[in-house]
Amino acid sequence: MEKVALTKDLSLSRFIHGVWRLNDWNLSTGDLETLIKDCIDLGITSFDHADIYGNYTCEEIFGEVLKGNNFLRNQMEIVTKCGIKLISEKHPEHKIKYYDTRKAHIIHSAETSLKFLNTDRIDLLLIHRPDPFMNPAEVAEAFAKLKKEGKVLNFGVSNFTPGQFSMLQSYLDFDLATNQIEASVGCLEHWENGNIDYMLEKRVKPMVWSPLAGGSIFSGSDEKSARLRATLEKIAGEIGASGIDQVMYAWLLAHPVKFLPIIGSGKLDRIKTAAESVELKLSRMQWFEILEASNGQEVP
């Protein structure tokens, strides 16, 4: 599978395996190790985490596989995120959900992730959500310290607008590696807000969460889901796709911004199906047919 260079020092696999729901998959450590190795065999070497996933449990579950296993660790790239504080029995001091991008919290979160993941470095650390109370100078100081100490090798953001991305970038003396955003045939927000144009301008390759639109298109009875499903099924037949999920992935992969979709499944067959979609090619007209179905009207 293709590797995509985000910086001169970091390349991620074109598909990324996401572990948001890892705690729900009920895998033993051995089963999880097998799944990770199967992903790597498919060329999916990048794994997406966040400190809060699974109510602050997923990093630790994943880390059990890496304990004393440097060979496996060296075959992968680990992405994780920080900046959200959840209401949780693990953190009873959190009375509400809120964001924390203070220097001390970013450093503490990164160091906790290193401990839980049983690794000596994080390949890519993202600020999970735009923080309306962010002090970008503090974020820059935290990033610089973690980078100097070799604890985090690259940094980026998630769910940022062009203005928020540019603002934080202006405080750094190295490039932000990516912006992880929601994008799919059912979510066109970042075309509409100028984010895709901005990332093309800045040569930023975005990671993509919820590339299958949260699953709503598969069975949704609303007008948009039904319209998209019919169009995707038609095009699946035209290009030889095994299902509409492959067409949804192919639609993202076709775009010149170089989307890196995150596969959030613990089932190997679904991961394989996603990986196989790299071989599918949409014509420009087919790409716009899907866009038209999403919008519910032809382009101007």
* Residue listed under structure tokens 């999970």: 128
Q: Is 55 helix (H, G, I), strand (E, B) or coil?
A: helix
Furthest C-alpha separation in the chain: 58
Give the CA distances from residue 13 to residues 67, 78, 163, in Å, rounded to whole numbers and listed in that order.
Answer: 23, 11, 27
d(CA 134, CA 164): 10
d(CA 127, CA 214): 22
Kindly state the tokens that stand for 299.
């382009």
d(CA 182, CA 18): 13
Task: Indicate which residue of 53, 56, 198, 249 is catalytic.
Answer: 53
Kindly state the tokens that stand for 219.
């069975």
Kindly state the tokens that stand for 210.
């919820």
Kindly state the tokens that stand for 233.
């099924």
Q: Is 171 a catalytic residue?
A: no
Residue 257, exposed/middle/buried by CB under 10 A (0-12, 13-18, 19+)? buried
Dihedral angle at the C-alpha atoms of 264, 220, 277, 36, nearest 10 degrees? 20
Distance of CA 184 to the CA centre of its chain: 13
Catalytic residues: 53
